[in-house]
Every structure is written in C-alpha cells, then in structure tokens.
Structure 1
Amino acid sequence: MRCISCEKLSFLIICKSCQEKYLEPSFHKREIDKNFFNYSFYALSDIEDLLNSKYYFYGDRIYNILANLSFKKFAQNFDFKYKVYAIPIDDHTRHEFSHTAILTKHLQSKYIQAKTNCLKATNKVKYAGKNLKYRQDNPRNFKLSNLYNQTTIICDDLITTGATILEAKKVLKKKNNQVIFSLTLADAKI
C-alpha cells in the first residue's frame, strides 16, 4: 500500500516518516466548565481530514495511528493515586469500528483502565456544523450503565463547544462518578 500523505510504499496507511513530520502532537488545555478542563493534542484544522476518516472503512487504521501518537503517550506519563476509568463518548460501531473505543483502548495503562460500552447516546443527532444552541436544544440523552462511584476520564475525538462532554459529565455524576477531565484528539478552537 502507499502512504496517504507522501504516496511512498508503506506497510502503514501513514508512513512513519510522515507521522514524525506532520503528526507530532502538542498538548492543549481548555476550561469548558468552572475548574473542568479538556486536554487535546491537535488543532482541528491540522487533522480534520484524518478525523473524517471515521466515516470510511480505513478510518480505524488512521485512528489507531493518531491514538498511538497521542493518547498512548499521554497514558504512559499519567500518574494518579489510583486507577481511573477512561470512558468513550458513545462508542457505537458504525462503519465496522468505534473511533472513540479505539482512542480509549490506547489509554490502557497502570493507572487507566478502558471501560467501553457503558455511555450510549439514545438520541443519534449529528452535530457536525451545528452551533451551540442547536446542540443544547438537541441533547444526546446519554444512558449510563454499569458504572457507579468511580473516578473517570471522558474521551472523544473532537471538542467544539464542549456541550457533548458536559452532558456526558452530568450523566456520569448522577451515578456518583467523579470526572477529573476530558481528553480529545482535536480542539476546534485552537
């Protein structure tokens, strides 16, 4: 196969050289609620085409590369008093894989345990290109199962307004879970 960036022969969909040259993550912090922060690794403008790969059959390979470069490195340096659960936002399977489950899987470490299939949206509304008012008027209506009294991290691929993450946080807190922060690949406001 060929690298989708440089078109050189490669076993990977994005060769190691292009990963090093174009996909070096940088850490960004944004307060989305009082004393509640989202951490991300890329500006949306830098990886938007790659994020859109989630709609195609090859997207899982791209998400694994991005997660390996960012989420995995984060997990290797994350230190906490005890184990926390990484919760993917609505890790449904579309196009034969779940992009949020892939991200969360790469957080697996000494202090982080991936907990998939527990936070599901009952309203499958699409937010792409929609403003904050639309997002607030059309909540995801998350349903949480099998998670009580735990310390958690919320995971998603993108933060725009923060409405989805805050809705997920509210649902987790209703079952006495502590959410210490959220983690996304990209931030639309950088």
Structure 2
Amino acid sequence: MKCTSCDKLSFSIICETCQNKLLVPNFYKKELDKDFFVYSFYDYKDLEDLIQSKYHFYGDRVFNILGKLSFKKFALNFEFTHPILALPIDDHTRHDFSQTAILAKHLKSTFIKPVFNSLKASNIVKYAGKNLEFRQKNPRKFTYSGEKSCDVILIDDVITTGTTILEARKTLKKHKVNVLFALTLCSFLS
C-alpha cells in the first residue's frame, strides 16, 4: 500500500518515516473557561488531510497511528493521585468506527481508564465547517449514563470553537462528574 502522507510504498497506511518526521506531537494549551483547559497535540493545518480520513474506510488505521503517537505517549507520562476516567465525546460509530473512541483507547494506563458509550449527543448535527453562531443555535444535547462523582478527561478529535467540549462539561457537571481537562488530537490555532 501507499503512505497517505508521502505516497511511498509502505506496510502501514502512514510510513515510519512520516510518523517519525512529520507526526511528532507538540503540546498546545487553550483556556476554554476560567481555569479549564484543553490540550492538543497538533495544529489542525498540519493534520487536515489525515483528520479527513475519518470519513473514509481506512480512517480507523490513521487514527490508531495518531493515537499511538500522541495519546499513548501522554498516558505513559501522566500520573495522578488516583485513577481517573477518559470519556470520548459522542463515540457513536457512524463511519464504521469512532475516532474519539480510538483516541481514548490509547489513553489506557495505570492512572487512566477509558470508558465508552456513556456521553452521547442526542442531536446529531454536523459542525464541520460551521461557525460559532450555528454551533450555539444547534447544541448537541448530550446525555450521560456513566459513573457519577468521579474525575474525567474529555476526549475529542478536533477543537475549533470549544462549544462541544463546554457543552459536554456542562452535562457532566449535572452528574457531579469533575472534568479535569480536555484532550484533543488537534486544534485550530490560527
């Protein structure tokens, strides 16, 4: 097969050279609310083509590589006073896989336990390419069916305006769930 980044022949959908040279994660921090932060590993413009793979049959392989290179490395270096949960935002399987579930899976460690199918959007609206006004007028209307009174990390693939993460956090607060911070694969930095 061909590497999706450089088109060279590869045994993996993203060759080792591209993984080691082009996909080295950085750590970006954005304050969404007072003392509430989202951390991202990449700038969206650097991953745009790879992020769009979520709409294609091979996207799960791309997200597994990206999760291994970023979320897994984070989990290996993360320590906390007690075990916490990783909650993927709206991990419905709409395109044969859930990119947020794949990313959360890579967070599994001594201190982080991924939990699936508990934070769901009841309003299935597509935010891709939509502005803040549209997002605010069309909330996701999250429901939560998971553990109460716990500490969690919210997981999403991309942060643009922060609307989705803040709405998810608000829903979780109603269930006495403390969101420590959010982790996303990439964010719109420019």
What TM-score does the superposition give when structure 2 sets the normalisation length? 0.98
* C-alpha deviation, 1:47, in angstroms: 0.2
CA distance in 2, matches of 1:2, 1:48: 18
Equivalence for 2:45: 45
Q: Deviations over 1:141-174 (max 9, x none)?
A: 0010022011000000000010100000011110
- Alignment RMSD (CA, Å): 0.8
Which residue in the other structure is 2:35 paired with? Answer: 35
CA distance in 2, matches of 1:179, 1:86: 10
Q: How many angstroms apart in 1 are the aligned matches of 2:102 and 2:148?
A: 23
**Matches for 1:133-152 after TM superposition, within 5 Å:** 133-152=133-152
1:73 aligns with 2:52: no
What is the match of residue 58 of structure 1? 58
Question: Structure 1 length normalisation: TM-score?
Answer: 0.98
Aligned mates of 2:161, 2:7 — CA distance in 1 = 35
- Distance in 2 separating the partners of 1:56 and 1:183: 23
Q: In the alignment, what sits opposite 1:9?
A: 9
Number of aligned residue pairs: give it: 190
User: In the alignment, what sits opposite 1:111?
Assistant: 111
| 1:52 match: secondary structure | helix
SS of 1:23 mapped into structure 2 = coil
Measure how far apart 1:8 and its partner are: 2.4
Q: Distance in 1 between matches of 2:117 and 2:31?
A: 27
Gaps of 5+ in 2: none
Cα distance between partner residues in 2 of 1:152 and 1:38: 13
Matched residues, percent identical?
59
Structure 1: unaligned runs, 5 residues or longer = none
Runs of 4+ in 1 over 4 A off after TM superposition: none
The secondary structure found in structure 1 opposite 2:155 is strand
Where 2:161 maps in the other structure, the secondary structure is coil
